[in-house]
Every structure is written in C-alpha cells, then in structure tokens.
Copies of this chain bind each other. A is one copy, B any other.
Amino acid sequence: MPRTKEQFAEMREKTKELITRASMKLFAENSYHGTSITQIAKEAGISKGLIYNYFDKKEEIVEVIIKEAFGEFEKMFAEQMKMEDPFEALGLIIESSFKMVKSQTEFYKLFIMISLQKDLQEITMRIMTDFYGNVYSYFEELFKRIGVENYVLEARIFGATFDGVFLNYSFFSQEFPIDDIKNYLLKKYDVYKK
C-alpha cells in the first residue's frame, strides 16, 4: 500500500529533525569544523548518504539550525511584546530566557561559537544582526517605559549580563548559581516601580 503524500512529508520531517538534532549536539561540543558528516550520521543513527538527501552541503545544516533557532527566539519575544505592563514583560523575558538556556545549553553554546567564527559569519551574520537589532530596540523601549534614564545603555547591559550568565552556566553548569542570579535580576528593576 503506497504511503500518502502526508506520510512521506512527515517521514522527511522526522529524518531532517534527526539530522539537525545530532548536528547541533556535535557542533556545540566540537565546533562546526570539528564535526564530521560521519559523526553526524552515526549520532543520528542513519547513513552518511542520507544526509545529502536532505542537505546539499554541510554548510546548509548549520544554516538551517540557525534559522530555526532564531525562529524560536523570535516566537518567544513576540509573546512578550504583546504585554502591556513592562515590568511583567521583563519578568517574563528573564524567566523564559533562563528556562531556555537551562533546557538548551547545548544549543546556546553552539550559538555563541558560531557567532564568533568568521568563516561562518557569511551564513549567520545577516540573520543575527537582524535579530539583535530587534531585540535591543525592544529592550530599549522596555527600559524607557519602566523609567530608566539611560535606557540605551541599560538595554546593552541587560543583554550583556544575560550572555555572560549563560556563558558561565555553559562552562560551569551545576556549580554556577544560575537560579540565584535569576532572582537577583528579577528584583533588580523593582526599584523603578512606584
């Protein structure tokens, strides 16, 4: 009995997912260049050849990963942007970002590494620049509404602190007091509340 079109599409989606998951894990551990197609195939439990059925070149895998990941990020922010109360929005950003980092440490590592690599920047630069542009202007607006005087700077500090915290968590994992820091940040802007 031949499969329906939908069944085929679903199967393709599943396999593609298998490949990107495996790649993400390995890229994060050993860098893009430090990971071979053979390793990815083994990790995904499929054959080398099959990968080329889904991606034309190794580069394309990284491209797809980055694009999808930013989609996730953007979905996350989109929700918060709808909120009226800036304090509530800020709280939610902190909560969901910390949650994401804790659950997707591997991806976060990959994300940093890729963003630092010149030879991948051709692929990633445009996506990332757009993304950061949006994020920072949203942060700025938020801090402005909260009443922070130098809201441009505060947005940058806020973003940088996040990155630093997540970087340290990636490195030290359990030993890093990530939850205490989350609470610290949650309280930090309370002073602006009337």
Chain A residues engaging chain B, CB cutoff 8 angstroms: 2, 28-34, 47, 109, 112-113, 115-119, 128, 132, 150, 152-153, 156-157, 159-165, 167-168, 170-172, 176-177, 180-181, 184
* A171 close to B33 (CB less than 8 A): no
Contacts of A159 in B (CB 8 A): 164, 168
Question: In the complex, A2 Cα to B49 Cα: how many Å?
Answer: 11
Distance in angstroms between the alpha carbons of A100 and B160 in the assembled complex? 18
Q: Which of B117, B156, B157, B160 contacts A113 (CB 8 A)?
A: B117
A164 to chain B, nearest CB (A): 3
Q: Is the CB of A168 within 8 A of B163?
A: yes
Distance in angstroms from A143 CB to nearest chain B CB is 13
- Min distance, Cβ A191 to any Cβ of chain B, angstroms: 12
A110: nearest chain-B partner, CB-CB: B116
Residues of chain B with a CB closer than 8 A to A162's CB? 164
Which chain B residues lie closer than 8 Å to A177 at the CB level?
152-153, 156
Number of identical monomers bound together in the oligomeric complex? 4
From B34, B150, B163, A163 is in contact (CB under 8 Å) with B163
**Out of B29, B32, B153, B181, which one reaches A156, CB within 8 Å?**
B181
Residue in chain B with minimal CB distance to A156: B177
| Structural contact, A171 and B116, CB atoms closer than 8 A | yes
Cross-chain contact A153 with B184 (CB below 8 angstroms): yes
Q: Among A113, A117, A164, A172, find the residue whose CB has the most chain B CB atoms closer than 10 A.
A: A164
How far apart are the CA atoms of A150 and B184 in the complex, in Å?
Answer: 10
Q: 3 closest pairs, A vs B, by CB?
A: A164-B164, A33-B33, A160-B164
Q: How far is the CA of A29 from the CA of B113 in the complex (A)?
A: 11
In the complex, what's the smallest C-beta–C-beta distance from A66 to chain B, in angstroms? 14
